[in-house]
Structure 1
Amino acid sequence: MKKLLLVFLFIGPTVFSQQELQEKTYFSEALYFHLSDYNRKADLAYRFNDYEKGKELFENFTSTHLEGSYMDNFKFRNLKKKEVALYDYKKPVFLITYASWCVPSKGEIPAINELAKAYKDKIDFVVLFWDKRDKVRELAEKFSTNISVVYVDESQNNGAYVVKQLKHSLGLPTCFLISGDKKIMDILRSVFPPLQTEEETAYRENYIALETSISQNLIKGYEGIYADNVQAE
């Protein structure tokens, strides 16, 4: 009996950890099984200019099939041309994708810079560009030094798998909030205020939307003081 108990003590935890690994669904797997159905429905909605339906389909797709999956260990390049893996970031990750031809939402970059300053000790902020290095170096100047700027250069036929999963699947800009163990907690589209919106108002709208998701998904128990103050004004 004692021998059986010892066997269970030594083998049991290993068995459970293997089961837990088997139960993990990765982002790329979730896309493989569900993306085509989403694309079919979304394409139909946008064909008839039903943008509200398209937005609803995106939110349902990401919340039902992608959130809760684990982000793959995708690899990029930093501005020093060094390979950087997503799992190199040990804190929870705020990841947003851009490109030089993609116009950011008004007020979005200042909001991200301010959030990176406020949360730099708790969250790794990563901006991923689908661009050539020289262009990315130029664009990186808009972002705070608290933000890690990385890129994938498609023109050199690099990172085809990453491009397929992170760019061609959901488009850009897309924001992923990822826990420390790389579980996807939330997926967001950028906030696009009307063109006539004042810069400060646009900044606040972006800040509130992003901070709300951060406080709910990455920093448990934190109250978004700034957002509360803004909403109270």
Structure 2
Amino acid sequence: MKKFYLLFLMFSITASANVDTIAVFSESVKANFKKYVSLSNKAYNKKNYQKAERLFDSLVNNSLKGTHFDDFSFKRLGKSRIQLSKIEKPILLITYSSWCIMGKGEIPALNQLANEYREKMKIVVVFWNKKRDMKKLAKKFDKDIIVCYAHDSEYKDLKTISYLKKTFGFPTSYLIDENMELVDIQKNFVKPENKMNMKNSLDFYYHKFNSGLTSLIVNDGFDNTRMVGN
């Protein structure tokens, strides 16, 4: 009996230690982003764009995937602030700015996906704007999409802006599972030509976003012992 109790105690201590060592997204960004920027800038200065892309992939895959995403909160039009942890579903979080030109099929594709995945996940769109600057554009999104905004002038938005806007820019997609673990980060992809018709543009964005949503929904989780800086 004593042997069983000892084994149980050792397992409990180990499990508790593993929980305590799960890296928080913002902490991992703080520990790794400065070095990434330095190396990335050198690559861009030498016009070595492939190396710059590899550096970003390495940052995401080796230091950020599997971290616990911060419980950021955002302002909504005509509603109270929402915290990501309150959604309790996998989340596709996309950041934009109202002055950033979106593809003609981008919002329709998101609206379609929001309807198709209504029961399985939630799409959250955040504009780095004041309310007046994004209000008109926000009306184009489906009711199943949570449209929010954040701005440097709002004290409660400063942490969010520091770790999302001022690091990864926009548009950027964050795939977060129902346990608030980061599944992936996808930077803005190459947009189709402006001359592309609506149908082809919608197909382009639909498949781009859907590929990420598929991995998000079937995600089995990551190693909970990931350490900051690994």
Indicate which of 174, 177, 180 corresponds to 1:179: 177
Q: Which residue of 1 aligns with 2:212?
A: 213
Equivalent residue for 2:199? 200
Identity of aligned residues (%): 29
Distance (whole Å) between structure 2 residues aligned to residue 218 and residue 12 of structure 1: 34
Indicate the SS of the match to 2:153: helix
From the superposition, tell whether residues 143 and 169 of structure 1 become closer, same or farther in structure 2 (CA, over 3 Å). same
Task: Provide the secondary structure at the position in 1 that maps to 2:78.
Answer: coil
CA distance in 2, matches of 1:142, 1:58: 32
Residue number in structure 2 paired with 1:109: 107
1:189 to 187, 190, 211: 187
Query: Partners in 1 of 2:57 and 2:139 — Cα distance?
Result: 32
Partner of 1:118: 116
TM-score by length of 2: 0.84
Residue aligned with 2:218, SS: coil
Contact 1:96 1:176 in 2 (8 A): yes
- CA drift of 1:52 comes to 4.0
Quote the residue 1:167 is aligned against: 165
The gaps in structure 1 that reach 5 residues or longer are: 222-233
- Could you report, residue by residue, the CA deviation over 1:118-157 in whole angstroms, capped at 9, with x for unpaired residues? 0011101100111112333222111110001111122344
Q: CA deviation at 1:12?
A: 6.0
1:93 and 1:126 in contact (8 A); partners too: yes
Distance 1:56 1:184 in 2: 19
CA distance in 2, matches of 1:176, 1:182: 11
Give 1:229's aligned residue: none
Which residue is equivalent to 2:227?
A: none
Counterpart among 70, 73, 76 of residue 72 in structure 1: 70
Which residue is 2:44 aligned to?
A: 46
Whether the aligned pair in 2 keeps the contact of 1:178 and 1:218 (CA below 8 Å) is no
SS in 2 for 1:121: coil
- For 1:143 and 1:110, the matched residues in 2 are separated by 8
The one-letter code sitting in structure 2 at the alignment partner of 1:190 is N
- CA positional deviation for 1:180: 0.5
Does 1:37 find its partner at 2:35?
yes
Residue identity matched to 1:101? W
Aligned-partner Cα distance in 2 for 1:135–1:62: 31
Deviation of 1:158 (Å):
3.9
Deviation at 1:49, TM superposition (A): 4.5
Q: Deviations over 1:5-39 (max 9, x none)?
A: 46865x56753442232221111111111111211
Which amino acid counterpart does residue 200 of structure 1 have in structure 2? Answer: K
* TM-score, structure 1 as length reference: 0.83
1:81-128 Cα shifts (integer Å, max 9, x gaps): 512111111000110001112222342211111110100111011001
CA contact (8 A) 1:107 1:199 kept: yes
Give 1:196 deviation, angstroms. 3.0
The 3 A distance-change label for structure 1 pair 156 and 68 is closer
Which has the higher mean CA deviation after the structures are superposed, 49-58 or 38-47? 49-58
Unaligned 5+ runs, structure 2: 221-230
Match of 2:90 in 1: 92
Aligned to 2:225: none
Coordinate RMSD, CA, aligned: 2.3
CA drift at 1:62? 1.7
Q: 1:139 to 1:13 in 2, by over 3 A?
A: farther
Other structure's SS at 2:33 match = helix
Query: Residues 55 and 196 of structure 1: is their aligned pair in 2 closer, same or farther, counting only changes over 3 Å?
Result: farther
Higher RCO (CA < 8 A, seq sep 6+): 2
